[in-house]
Amino acid sequence: MKFYAHSGNDTTGYTNFQPLAEHLLGVADEAARRAAAVGLPGLSALVRAAGLLHDLGKYRREFQDYIRGLGHHRGDPLTRHKEAGAAVAFAARNNALALAVLGHHGGLPDGPAVAAELKDGAGVAAAVRADAEADCPQLAAALDGLPPVPKGFAADLFTRVLFSCLVDADWADTGRHERRVKGLPDDPGPPDLAPRERLRRVEAFIAERAARPLEPRVRRARADVLAACLSAAEGPPGLFSLTVPTGGGKTLAALAFALRHAAARGLRRVIYVAPYLTILEQNADAIRAALCVGPADPAVFEHYSLAEPPGDANPDETGLSSAARRAENWDAPVVVTTNVQFFESLFSNRPGRCRKLHNVAGSVVVLDECQTLPPGLAAPTCGMLRQIATPVGDGGLGCSVVLCTATQPAFDHDLLQPDERLAATEIIPPALRRRDEDDLFVRLRRVRVSWPRPGDARLAWAEVAARMRGEPSALCVVNTKRAARAVYEELRGSPGAFHLSTGMCPQHRREKLAQIRSLLSLKAPCYVVSTQLIEAGVDVDFPFLMREMGPLESVIQAAGRCNREGKLPGEGGRVVVFRSAEGTLPPDRWYKAGRDVLERIIATTGDGPQIDDPAAIRDYFRRLYYANGPGALDGQQIRDRRRAFKFEAVAESYKLIADAGQPVVVATWESHQPEIESLLVELAARPGKASYRKLAPFQVNLLPSQAAKVGHLFHEAKGGVLVWDGKYDEDAGIVDEVADAFIV
């Protein structure tokens, strides 16, 4: 009898079916190749064994009847196959191998539950052993001489990387077979990083930008930042911090650091991580421009959830085209992604999310605006960052991690465990951070901040709007979407009035920001009200800014949108922090804690902290981390769950956004309706990865917890996407009461 792994389009002679032994050997080789690039001791041998064992259960006769269409059906327990190889590994007391094999379809399970899942698998393995070893002789020695798996946290990370190599190899081999059956060419390989050549382009681009009209102090500060980055890049891999105030050219200098460091230390790729889509979109454009590549060039890949196909199934276990369901594996030389994609992938147990993990190894990871990481996850996040920045010989991933921000968090806080504290090397030399005339923060001081006094009156939204209209141009940043809508209603009808929030899709925000920048460049009236999405990194430059009272890091980031280029004379831009009469905050206890810590500082001193003093910022973060009591930096007890090999529990617990969004396509946006309808038709006809990416700019995120309330306003279209049927405002996106069903 011939044994097959995957079907073809010939159901009589089976000439297009993939032989099972071919698949097992192909996955073993592919997985070992990925493991060799990672370099963890012992990983190559273990993933080769995983490749050989992962589909052992397909040798059972019931599965062979199913794949030939001779009986049984998808989901029939008698066709299950992942448990057999896992049972063989478990019997050999290799839990890491057993977990990877058992999870390669549905996800890494919790370790303590494995034994119960493998009872039937052991019987299947025994029943198919003779046929399997006759068909694929390498199976007989699959477990011979395997190296030991590390202990503790190192074992958790090792298992994740083993799983990543297996899943990526399995899906790649399956994809090749599918393309052969369909007569499609193989996917092209990714371009090389070529860091020295790309660095030359970046340096030339920076020099060209520096030649534009610019305040001399700003030009000199940016040159100092770039020089510091290029010098530090020659050092050994590890943890770095890049503490640069707004306007210091941090993004491009960090890219230059990453490329020179990769060239000097043989690192494989650059991964740029941003907290919000607004920053990602803007900085991806800047990175492409600096690298001299266009939007379609595979050298730079943007990855965020709106561009993903729905679901996270393995292609073997879904009725949809596997090409539409496979997640990204980050094999591009430069990856630009979000905090959610990067960090939740590191803690995930799902095949689609974990597939990319092996490609994180040996990368330069630039974490932009790292202060936005939730304090409640600080302990597990710092612990994982420390691990991936550990050399592979010591059980890490050999990455270099750069913590970029003007407001460095206290990631070495004494509430963190010793193996969670980050001792980062600061890239900016001491001579540029001495609080004298050469200090970067002093030189790039652009605004003066007016803090509310303890007894000051709270402002109504009408008063806020009136204060804004009293200025030539003004930006107001508030704490909630409801507040942004209220202020905008007060401004609506005024020349140059704009609203920004996540109730608007990315394309809508991009167009509004282009209009805003145009008005600002012409010095025409421009009045913008926005939620926090505008704060971190969005390139706008207002002379006057109002910020509703919130956490200090939010106030500082908002202030970075005022006099951004340092062109205003005298004391520069004006920032007014105010308390609102409404006073509503997002449903995040750390956001409230940050606001409360700042209020206590004001109550004690009679004034707010100096926003350009790193010592004051550090003091604030130290207070903040104490605010919610011992254990609050790991509120989900993720550390203990990682030590107990509870992979599913860890994945469920580590959520940067507690109520993560479900993308919906805003088909009722009238100005783009024909384009959106055309893309939906394309998706229905060709539900591939490219079609989902094209729809990404026209989606907003619906909160799953609120879906029932607005379920009558959307429907599911072909290809699995949700389509919004409700009202979409040309100025403010999804508004009225339904707007609160969308992510802040």
Q: What is the pLDDT of residues 107-152, one digit of tens each?
A: 999 998 888 888 889 999 999 999 999 999 999 999 999 999 998 8
CB atoms within 10 A of CB 22: 15
Instruction: Give the residue-averaged pLDDT of 654-678.
Output: 89
pLDDT at 179: 86
pLDDT digits (tens, 9 = 90+) for 437-466: 888 998 888 899 999 998 899 999 999 999
pLDDT above 70: percentage of residues in the chain? 95
pLDDT at 599: 96
Strands 497-500 and 526-530: parallel
pLDDT at 659: 61
Instruction: Give the residue-averaged pLDDT of 77-95.
Output: 93
DSSP per-residue letters across 590-638: HHHHHHHHHHHHHHHHSSPPPTT-HHHHHHHHHHHHHTT-TTGGGTT-H
**Confidence category of residue 153, pLDDT binned at 50, 70, 90:** confident
Where is pLDDT greater, at 322 or 645?
Answer: 645
CB atoms within 10 A of CB 332: 22
d(CA 584, CA 84): 55
Q: At 156, which amino acid appears? A: D
**In terms of CATH, what superfamily is 195-432?**
P-loop containing nucleotide triphosphate hydrolases (3.40.50.300)
Q: What DSSP state is assigned to residue 494?
A: S
Instruction: Give the residue-averaged pLDDT of 420-432.
Output: 95
CATH fold match for the domains 195-432 and 446-611 = yes
Has residue 324 got a pLDDT over 50?
Answer: no
Has residue 416 got a pLDDT over 90?
Answer: yes
Has residue 661 got a pLDDT over 80?
Answer: no
d(CA 349, CA 106): 9
pLDDT digits (tens, 9 = 90+) for 159-182: 999 999 999 999 999 989 988 888
pLDDT at 327: 54
**Confidence category of residue 707, pLDDT binned at 50, 70, 90:** confident
Q: What DSSP state is assigned to residue 587?
A: S
Query: Of 181, 171, 128, 179, which Cα lies nearest the Cα of 11?
Result: 181
pLDDT digits (tens, 9 = 90+) for 568-586: 887 789 999 999 999 999 8
pLDDT digits (tens, 9 = 90+) for 245-276: 888 899 999 999 999 999 999 999 999 999 87
Has residue 220 got a pLDDT over 60?
Answer: yes
- Specify the 3-state DSSP secondary structure of 264: helix
pLDDT at 626: 92
DSSP per-residue letters across 546-582: EEES--HHHHHHHHTTBSTT--S-TT-EEEEEE-BSS
Ranked by mean pLDDT, the top range of 63-72, 435-444, 631-640, 680-689 is 631-640
pLDDT at 389: 98
Strands 363-368 and 334-338: unpaired
The long-range contacts involving 171-176, CB below 8 angstroms and separated by at least 24 positions, are: 171/314, 171/315, 171/322, 171/326, 171/351, 171/355, 172/30, 172/329, 173/23, 173/26, 173/27, 173/30, 174/6, 174/23, 174/315, 174/316, 174/322, 175/315, 175/322, 175/323, 175/326, 176/26
Query: Of 627, 631, 630, 635, which Cα lies nearest the Cα of 655?
Result: 635
Q: Which residues contact 210 (CB under 8 A, 6 or more apart)?
A: 219, 222, 223
d(CA 608, CA 598): 7
Q: What DSSP state is assigned to residue 390?
A: S
Where is pLDDT greater, at 72 or 682?
Answer: 682
pLDDT at 275: 87
CB atoms within 10 A of CB 201: 16
**Confidence category of residue 733, pLDDT binned at 50, 70, 90:** very high
**Confidence category of residue 91, pLDDT binned at 50, 70, 90:** very high
pLDDT at 323: 34
Mean of the per-residue pLDDT values of the chain: 90
pLDDT at 505: 92
pLDDT at 469: 96
Q: Domain limits of the chain?
A: 4-182, 195-432, 446-611, 662-741
Give bridge partners of residue 702 from the DSSP assignment.
Answer: 662, 742
**In terms of CATH, what superfamily is 446-611?**
P-loop containing nucleotide triphosphate hydrolases (3.40.50.300)
Instruction: Give the residue-averaged pLDDT of 643-650.
Output: 95
Hey, what are 561's tokens? 């949108």
Give bridge partners of residue 557 from the DSSP assignment.
Answer: none
Query: Of 478, 499, 485, which Cα lies nearest the Cα of 738?
Result: 485
d(CA 349, CA 355): 10
Hey, what are 179's tokens? 């393309």
pLDDT at 454: 87
Has residue 289 got a pLDDT over 50?
Answer: yes
Instruction: Give the residue-averaged pLDDT of 192-203.
Output: 97
Has residue 216 got a pLDDT over 80?
Answer: yes
pLDDT at 718: 86
Backbone angles phi, psi at 415, to 5 degrees: -80, -15
Rounded-to-10 torsion of CA 446, 447, 448, 450: -160
Least confident residue range of 57-61, 352-356, 431-435:
431-435
Has residue 283 got a pLDDT over 70?
Answer: yes
The full length of the chain comes to 744
Q: What is the 3-state secondary structure (H, E, C) of 62-82?
A: HHHHHHCCCCCCCCCHHHCCH
**Confidence category of residue 92, pLDDT binned at 50, 70, 90:** very high
d(CA 392, CA 37): 11
Has residue 315 got a pLDDT over 80?
Answer: no
